[in-house]
């Protein structure tokens, strides 16, 4: 099957305040977490970057670094930056997801058609494990330039008429949905590493 999406961006611009240290550089096995993530993406996407203001994070992933166009504006700023950089449909993911499923990511890259393709999880959705098109840039920028409170990401995704990948489809690739697990706190990291 033809792969439509050929670019990926790892968002690593957060402050990691709940973790207390840089999440992207946490050790996972014998490498930093972000290097593990980059290793999953490399066979799938010819072009990959890290959206971060910190050179040490990009260096740990052995990937080029781009800085946020809208610093301190949350994940939407990182998504906007990645799309502006590649000017092509881009798979965007957070830097703290250690158990990515390559087959599911490839499925998203092959089945993208529209403005956004976002997986659903139990009780929610996964906007930082999703594909976005550059056609969204004007809408994203209008929110990022606004002076008021940023609307919830769910509302922005509805505004751009994102398509959703159901939980049932995601479970075909990862029955436990472990691929959506992330490390926000030291306890998260301990629990996930020690879970089966």
Please say if the pLDDT value at position 185 is more than 60. no
Give me the mean pLDDT over the 106-114 stretch: 96
Tens digit of each residue's pLDDT (9 = 90 or more) over 53-105: 999 999 999 999 999 998 888 899 999 999 999 999 999 999 999 999 999 99
Joined together, the tokens standing for residue 24 give: 């992207």
Indicate the SS3 state at residue 67: coil
Distance set, CA 122 to CA 12, 48, 71, 177 (Å): 24, 28, 30, 9
Q: Look at residue 192 in the predicted model and tell me its pLDDT.
A: 46
Nearest CA to 10 out of 69, 70, 57, 72 is that of 57
191 vs 20, which has greater pLDDT?
191
Please say if the pLDDT value at position 160 is more than 70. yes
28: Cα within 13 Å, side-chain hemisphere: 25
| Residue whose pair of structure tokens reads 């919830």 in the numeric block | 152
Which domains are assigned to the chain? 10-189 (3.90.550.10)
Tens digit of each residue's pLDDT (9 = 90 or more) over 3-42: 899 999 999 976 544 444 578 888 888 899 999 999 999 9
Q: Look at residue 158 in the predicted model and tell me its pLDDT.
A: 94
Q: Look at residue 20 in the predicted model and tell me its pLDDT.
A: 42
Q: How far is it, in rounded angstroms, from Cα 25 to Cα 75?
A: 19
Q: Look at residue 40 in the predicted model and tell me its pLDDT.
A: 97
Q: Look at residue 26 in the predicted model and tell me its pLDDT.
A: 87
Joined together, the tokens standing for residue 160 give: 């751009």
Give me the mean pLDDT over the 183-190 stretch: 56
Q: Are 130 and 22 in contact (CB under 8 A)?
A: no
Please calculate the CA angle 15-36-54 and round it to the nearest 5 degrees: 35
């Amino acid at each position: 099957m033809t792969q439509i999406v050929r670019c990926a961006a790892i968002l690593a611009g957060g402050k990691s305040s709940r973790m207390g240290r840089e999440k992207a550089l946490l050790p996972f096995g014998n490498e930093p977490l972000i290097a593990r993530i980059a290793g999953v993406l490399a066979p799938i996407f010819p072009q990959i970057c890290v959206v971060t203001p910190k050179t040490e994070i990009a260096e740990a992933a052995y990937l080029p670094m781009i800085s946020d166009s809208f610093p301190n504006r949350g994940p939407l700023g990182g998504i906007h930056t990645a799309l502006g950089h590649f000017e092509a449909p881009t798979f965007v993911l957070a830097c703290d997801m250690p158990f990515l499923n390559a087959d599911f990511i490839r499925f998203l890259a092959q089945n993208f058609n529209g403005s956004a393709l976002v997986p659903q999880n139990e009780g929610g959705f996964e906007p930082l494990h999703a594909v976005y098109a550059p056609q969204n840039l004007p809408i994203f920028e209008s929110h990022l330039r606004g002076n008021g409170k940023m609307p919830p990401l769910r509302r922005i995704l509805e505004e751009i008429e994102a398509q959703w990948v159901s939980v049932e489809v995601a479970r075909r690739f990862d029955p436990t949905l472990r691929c959506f697990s992330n490390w926000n706190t030291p306890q998260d990291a301990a629990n996930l590493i020690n879970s089966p």
